[in-house]
Each structure stands twice: as C-alpha cells, then as structure tokens.
Amino acid sequence: MGLQNSKTLYLDAIKNNYAIGAFNFVNLETLSAILDAANELKSPVIVQCSTSAIKYAGIKEIYAMVQAKMTNIPVILNLDHGKTFEDCKNAIDNGFTNVMIDASSLPFEENIALTKQVVEYAHAHNVTVEAELGVLAGVEDEISASNDEAKYTNPVQAKEFVERTGVDSLAIAIGTSHGIYKFNGEAKLRFDILSKIEKLLPNFPFVLHGASSIPQDKVKLAEKYGAKLKGANGIPETMLFEAATKHNIVKVNVDSDLRISFTAGVREILALKPETVDMREYLKNGKKYVNEVVKEKIEKVFNSANKAK
C-alpha cells in the first residue's frame, strides 16, 4: 500500500470514533519503531518531520526511508509545522502526502492568505493540508510560545478560516502545550470550546498538537541513568482518549514521548554497559522503548488498532 493523503483516512476516523497517531521521527530507528508498531497492530499511522528534522536528515533521505519501510497499512507522510510556502512546497515536491502550514502566529488575515496559497498548490498535487488557528504555549523543536501568548481557538473564526482557505484539517488550541513541561498545575482541555467548534463545523477533521502524555515510567528510567527531567508532565491519556473517541479529533501529535523514551533506552545501555561502543546496541534499546510507547498509544489512547483498511 502506497503513501496516502489524509482525506479518506480522516473521514473514516470521524465515522468510527478513533484518532490517528502522528509520530515525529528524525532517524531510521525512530521511524522503524513507529511503523513496526502500527503494522503489528494494523493501525493507520502518520509519520512526520519538522523542518529542523528535514535539515538534519535530508528530505530525499527521509522519503526514501519511509518508502523502504512501507507495508500494508495506510501511511501518511506529513510535514509538521511548515512555516512558509517554500517549506510546504519543498515537502510536496519531494513526496510528502500531507503538509501543515503553521501561520498561527500571524494576524488572522495573513494566516488565511498564506494557508490558501499552500492549499491551492497542494491540492493541485493531490496533497492535503493542515493549518492552525490559536497559539499553543511551550517549546518543541522550532516551535515556541510563552504561556502569555497561549490563545484558545475562536470557534467563529475557525468556521470562517476553514471556509475561506479550503483547508483539509485544522489544528486547534484547547489547552495542549508543546514540550515536556506542559503544566504548572492540573492539566485541563477545553472540551467546551471544542464542542462549539464542532457544532459550527460538523464532521470536519480537527488536530491536537502538543499532546504528548509524558509517560512517567520512561521519565523515571531516563532520570535513573542521569537525565534531568524533574517536573516533566503532559496531557492525561484519559483526556486524549475522550478527544479521540467522543470528538472529531482525528490526528494527535506525539513527539516528546518518543524523545524521552528513546533517550531512556540509550542512557540505560550506556550506563549498564559503559564498555560498549556498538551504536547498534544502544540505538536498538532506544527503538524498543519508542515501539512500546507507540503501541500503547494506538491500543489504549487513540483506539486505532485494527482500523487499517
């Protein structure tokens, strides 16, 4: 089964009450861990790269790795947080099947104009587009915003934005946050805002960014072997399950969980076997923990196991 764009998969997710995990990768090990888990559980999956990951690994190399690992499950290759038209065009021209244009920090009219430009080019190449409205707090990769800048998505603006841009899915701000330190206090997602948006845009696909849950067992494992992650916390998985199964959240981004898990695996081997210089040994252990996290998300959080068609 070849790479797919998001259109049919997102409609199926809405119809059958599940979300598709969108997992970031930067190398062959993380990509393999993600795709192996999705293939084992027969789940559709989104593998995605930020612009900084593309700079690190190379866009042609990324596409070749994904193609080499393709199996019989539906896979979307997504650009995560493209900031410019050129970012998105580069991904489209190099085989990505979905792109995210993130102009959420721009004024509303400028966001619309840039998103519409990307949509027109993407649709001409059978590629679907995700955009963002509202600004998430936190820091991850090249994405940053202070808590003061965090702003919930306005439901009325969301409807206008979708209608004027023709975008295929919309990332909304309802309380999630980028990075591994998401909350000072209790986590809270604004399902009331989400419900208002869904009422104005029925059966439309929505996306959650900054939705890692920061698994505490992996945090403790990483800390045991020297990592300094005190206070790392994330979105409770019960909230993510509710978003995936009771609302039209069809895509949930996961990045920090994978970073922590991979780091824990590498640190563990280097601490337990300080004599090793075999990169395969510690990279394999990092891959193992990423695979565990992806499988848990698919089975227990996103409800997407056995949904591959």
Tokens representing 223 are 């800390």
Phi, psi angle pair for 17, to nearest 5°: 60, 55
Q: Which residues pair with 22 in a beta bridge?
A: 46, 253
Outline where DSSP puts E strands in 39-93. 45-50, 75-82
Tell me the residue range of the domain where 37 lies: 7-301
Q: Residue 161: what residue type?
A: F
Sheet of strand 177-178: strand arrangement: 143-145, 137-140, 177-178
Tokens representing 217 are 């067992």
Number of domains in the chain: 1
Residue-wise pLDDT tens digits, 56-112 = 999 999 999 999 999 899 999 999 999 999 999 999 999 999 999 999 989 999 999
Pick from 91, 184, 186: nearest CA to 129: 91
Name residue, tokens 């393999």.
32
Residue-wise pLDDT tens digits, 123-136 = 999 999 999 998 66
With beta carbons less than 8 A apart as the criterion, state whether 254 and 223 touch: no
Is 215 part of a structural domain of the chain?
Answer: yes
Is 160 part of a structural domain of the chain?
Answer: yes
Is 307 part of a structural domain of the chain?
Answer: no
Is 38 part of a structural domain of the chain?
Answer: yes
pLDDT in tens, the chain (309 residues): 789 999 999 999 999 999 999 999 999 999 999 999 999 999 999 999 999 999 999 999 999 999 999 989 999 999 999 999 999 999 999 999 999 999 998 999 999 999 999 999 999 999 999 999 986 654 445 554 444 445 889 999 999 999 999 999 999 999 887 665 555 556 788 999 999 999 999 999 999 998 888 899 999 999 999 999 987 888 899 999 999 999 999 999 999 999 999 999 999 999 999 999 999 999 999 999 999 999 999 999 999 999 998
Pick from 297, 280, 288, 296: nearest CA to 263: 288
Residues 6+ apart with CB under 8 A from 268: 221, 224, 225, 285
CATH number at residue 102: 3.20.20.70
Cα–Cα distance measured from residue 201 to residue 153, given in angstroms and rounded to the nearest whole number: 13
Cα–Cα distance measured from residue 236 to residue 213, given in angstroms and rounded to the nearest whole number: 6
Is 309 part of a structural domain of the chain?
Answer: no
Is 271 part of a structural domain of the chain?
Answer: yes
Cα–Cα distance measured from residue 85 to residue 103, given in angstroms and rounded to the nearest whole number: 10
Collapsed DSSP state (helix, strand, coil) of residue 101: strand
Is 193 part of a structural domain of the chain?
Answer: yes
Is 210 part of a structural domain of the chain?
Answer: yes
Cα–Cα distance measured from residue 187 to residue 18, given in angstroms and rounded to the nearest whole number: 22
Active site residues: 80
